[in-house]
Structure 1
Amino acid sequence: MTLTQGNTIDFDSARLKLSENMTSVTVMPAENRQLSLTAVQDKLTRSLQTTLELDRVLELFFQELRAFMGLDCLEYRLEGRDLHQRIGQSSLHRCSYRMTHAGSFLGEIQFSRKKRFNETHLKTLETLLGNLLYPLRNALLYREAAYCAHNDSLTGVGNRLAMDRALDREVKLSIRNRSTLSLLVLDIDYFKQINDQYGHACGDEALKAVVNCVRNCLRGVDDVFRMGGEEFVVLLSDTAAREARMVAERIRSAIEEMQFQTDGVSIAITASIGVATRRLDEGNREVLDRCDKLMYSAKRGGRNRIAVQ
């Protein structure tokens, strides 16, 4: 039978009674040498301050607790941010904690090991979680800041900065590996009319619907970026011209067939797409500019079409 014990820790109201616990608990580690709880807390304080990377924070925390308490696995989840990390192999006996601070949910953490957790072990875990609080919160804030710096706040895809970096990386890889690289530049047709007639809120929903449609047409390794307004760029690594054209046509057709509605009114949405495969003498700017010009060529050709060169 698996023992699963769950608790909620509010770091603000409980504060984990650190001063009461620090001198009262000693746990036998796996290598049969005793460590004081205070010594483990001191080590955690030093090590967890060395990084803002969430994965590394959790790894360092687990390593100390594994040596101190014989833990076999740590599993962390934060729903809504698509965060899930497991370190080690799950064991029979488990206990979990939901962590909150300043009204914010910091995630759920679960520990497991072969031996049953007694009250002393649980008290120790709760004390040591106090050392995780601020490093975990800071790592989450850092992760969010990094995400916002590189992602469009409306659609969630990469922004212009992220696109520039990704394109630079992909061009270098293409040159080094002598592989093909293709780009798509996509612009929603008559988008201003959607904003003018139905409002900007509807326009925002249309942008998100188009992004979802584009993503559904791509491989997991392909990237989508918002250049600004209603214009998007798709990077297709290791993709030749013929395959890129097929992807562009698939996207164009999917957008045209998309059922988009606002207040019960169906709105037709189409897109014009430029398709370019990097030439041997082209760098980042050259291939992007050529693809952008092809998109405008598709516009001039009647919209709702692709242009390839």
Structure 2
Amino acid sequence: MQTLNLVENSNVDFNAFKLFDTRDHKNNYRKLALAEQLQTTLELDHLLNIFAMEAAKFVDFSGLYFKQADVRASARGSKAGKKERIFELKLNNRYLGTLTYAINSPISITNHTVLKQLHKLLVHPINNAIKYQQALKLAMEDGLTGLGNRRYFDQQLKRAMHHSNRQKSRLGIVVSDLNKFKAINDTYGHNIGDDVLVEFANALRKSTRDSDSLFRFGGDEFAIIVEDASEQSLHIIERRIEQAISNNALLHQYKVTCSLGYTFMNRADNEKSLFERADNMLYTRKMNMPKTLTVV
């Protein structure tokens, strides 16, 4: 793996012309055109699509991928090649991520040099795109628990319902709140209450699949979107939540319990009707405290 570290004077704004050889007008024009195109989007996938079209003139590759922690993107139509060539991207000694080419034939020394110059044009757009993705994530995230917030829930529920209709799969939604949570806050203080909410969120994570989506609306209200759901899968989630609560030292210490309500989407549902049906089931269970859940 090779590393590209673009180091700049922090007192001078980035200038793409610094990367160009003033003697090579043809290549400068091409690089400037690429630099302009890379400034037109903050979407990582779109950035890679633009970049891949230029890089393909110098490298025989079938896939182009970017990865940084949980941020991943790929150029359109990417697939495995005979080998991989990985470049580490840095900006002022700060790690940005890795750019991986799925190559089909070796890269010549000349084209390797050109590729490194092109990477310099990509570093800033990728850095901007990562910051944009991070800002979006913060806007959709509950600050206390790290789960999705109500705004993100509304967005993801709409997406999941469209996906379920297209795939003719079953979509389940689970809503939950903590029993007598106000008493915990009043008795032990809001710091303990916050600790309880964080640990309950962790219990939800342990009780669900990676494909399930978790949300906190605020207070002690939580929701789970379960795609490709079945009655069995929702009962399993319920049992796992109960087990995770009982196994959690802090939740056990404060005698935390929760109420759950859930339902499945039907073809006449919109986002409001689906959520309200699950919420009504939660309210009914909370009032009557039955031992089992009823699926609507």
CA displacement 1:135-172 (0-9 Å, x = unmatched) = 21222232223323333233333221222233344445
Q: 1:143 aligns with which of 95, 115, 133?
A: 133
Corresponding residue for residue 28 of structure 1: none
Report 1:41-120 matches (<5 A): 41-69=31-59, 74-79=64-69, 81-83=70-72, 85=74, 89=80, 94=85, 96-100=87-91, 105-110=95-100, 114-115=105-106, 118=109
- Whichever residue aligns with residue 130 of structure 1, its letter is K
Which residue does 2:201 correspond to in 1?
211
Aligned position for 2:274: 287
Distance change (3 Å), C-alpha of 1:207 and 1:115: same
Partner of 2:181: 191
The residue type paired with residue 22 of structure 1 is D
Q: CA deviation at 1:187?
A: 0.5
**One-letter amino acid of the counterpart of residue 18, structure 2:** S
Q: What is the aligned partner in structure 2 of residue 6 from structure 1?
A: 3
- Partner residue in 2 for 1:270: 257
Which residue identity is paired with 1:98? L
Answer yes or no: is the 8 Å Cα contact 2:175–2:261 preserved in 1. Answer: yes
Q: Which runs of 5+ in 1 are unaligned?
A: 26-34
What is the DSSP-based 3-state SS (H/G/I as helix, E as strand, rest coil) of the residue aligned with 2:148? coil
- C-alpha distance in structure 1 between counterparts of 2:276 and 2:32, whole Å: 55
Aligned equivalents of 1:130 and 1:252: distance in 2?
A: 48
Deviations 1:86-134 (A, max 9, x none): 8565666846333125x8643233567644664x666544432332133
- List alignment gaps of at least 5 residues for structure 2: none
Higher relative strand content: 1
Question: In the comparison of the two structures, how many residue pairs are matched?
Answer: 290
**Identity value in percent:** 27
After superposition, the Cα gap between the structure-2 partners of 1:106 and 1:299, relative to the gap in structure 1 and judged at 3 Å, is same
Report the Cα offset of residue 181 of structure 1.
3.6
TM-score in terms of structure 2 length: 0.75
> Normalising to structure 1: TM-score of the pair?
0.73
Structure 1 letter corresponding to 2:124: Y
Aligned equivalents of 1:235 and 1:185: distance in 2?
Answer: 9
Within 2, Cα distance between the matches of 1:8 and 1:280?
Answer: 53
Q: Residues 93 and 24 of structure 1: is their aligned pair in 2 closer, same or farther, counting only changes over 3 Å?
A: farther
The one-letter code matched in structure 1 to 2:235 is M
Q: CA deviation at 1:229?
A: 1.3
CA contact (8 A) 1:184 1:274 kept: yes
Cα distance in 1 for residues equivalent to 2:171 and 2:85: 48
- Of 215-224 and 192-201, more deviation after overlay is shown by 192-201
**Cα distance per residue 1:221-276 (max 9 Å; x no partner):** 33222222111112234435x336513532442233232349xx944432111123
